[in-house]
Chains A and B, each alone.
Chain A
Amino acid sequence: EAGVTQFPSHSVIEKGQTVTLRCDPISGHDNLYWYRRVMGKEIKFLLHFVKESKQDESGMPNNRFLAERTGGTYSTLKVQPAELEDSGVYFCASSQEPRQGGNREQFFGPGTRLTVL
């Protein structure tokens, strides 16, 4: 079974441009999460989808970031316009609908390395 995939693996853009990151979760996983690590900092949560609905978007840094998950399958994260401080690695993770007492393991993708020049 395929794991979580992310596209592109690397993206280099100039300040002010727009970039869209894509995440394909494991098939059947209702929960989809976005995280990012900016240079020298810890991995930070951005938002959480349950199917197509945003369950928690408390980590989204500002309104330049827009996440969507139309149809409850893959998700996109758009940054518009990109700023220098947006550089970092963006991770996507997915998990199954948790059962009482069950494992809430999140499966992570390899990440997208974004560089804003």
Chain B
Amino acid sequence: DAKTTQPTSMDCAEGRAANLPCNHSTISGNEYVYWYRQIHSQGPQYIIHGLKNNETNEMASLIITEDRKSSTLILPHATLRDTAVYYCIVRVHKAAGNKLTFGGGTRVLVKP
């Protein structure tokens, strides 16, 4: 699976949008971009994923550049409960499922 690069940390004001960048310049054509987060003392939680097109769900939006070498996770209205470590992961979809490879992630602190 391709390697990703994320900023170590970032702060965000409550109620504002949080934009989390991720570089994955060596991504292959069959690799998906996944985002997970880990809130303190909990297990990682799936947020969203995409291949080429931008995606949106009830939690966030995922913007993938046309060359797929980078992406941005957008939390539209950050709340204090969004304080967590956010992981950008690229992986192929194997027939029998496959592991997640976590990097260091971005530690997001949402401030009042």
Q: A108 is contacted by which of B44, B95, B98 (Cβ under 8 Å)?
A: B44
Q: B43 is contacted by which of A4, A31, A95, A105 (Cβ under 8 Å)?
A: A4
Contact between chains at B98 and A48 (CB < 8 Å):
yes
Determine how close the nearest CB of chain A comes to the CB of B37; give it in whole angstroms.
Answer: 11
Contact between chains at A33 and B99 (CB < 8 Å):
yes
Contact between chains at B44 and A98 (CB < 8 Å):
no
Q: Is B28 an interface residue (CB 8 A)?
A: no
Contact between chains at B43 and A45 (CB < 8 Å):
no
Within 7-51 of B, Cβ neighbours of A (below 8 Å) are at 32, 34, 38, 41-46, 49
Q: Which residue of B is nearest A47, CB measured?
A: B99
A105 and B103 CA atoms in complex are apart in Å by 18
Count of B residues near A, CB < 8 Å? Answer: 23
Contact between chains at B102 and A44 (CB < 8 Å):
yes
Contact between chains at B102 and A98 (CB < 8 Å):
no
Contact between chains at B43 and A108 (CB < 8 Å):
yes
A77 and B108 CA atoms in complex are apart in Å by 32
A107 and B97 CA atoms in complex are apart in Å by 13
Task: Give B contacts to A, CB under 8 Å.
Answer: 32, 34, 38, 41-46, 49, 91, 93-104
20 new A-B pairs (CB below 8 Å) besides A45-B101, A105-B49, A109-B43? Answer: A4-B43, A31-B96, A33-B99, A35-B102, A43-B102, A48-B97, A48-B98, A50-B96, A55-B97, A93-B43, A97-B97, A98-B94, A101-B93, A104-B32, A104-B34, A105-B46, A106-B44, A107-B46, A110-B42, A110-B43
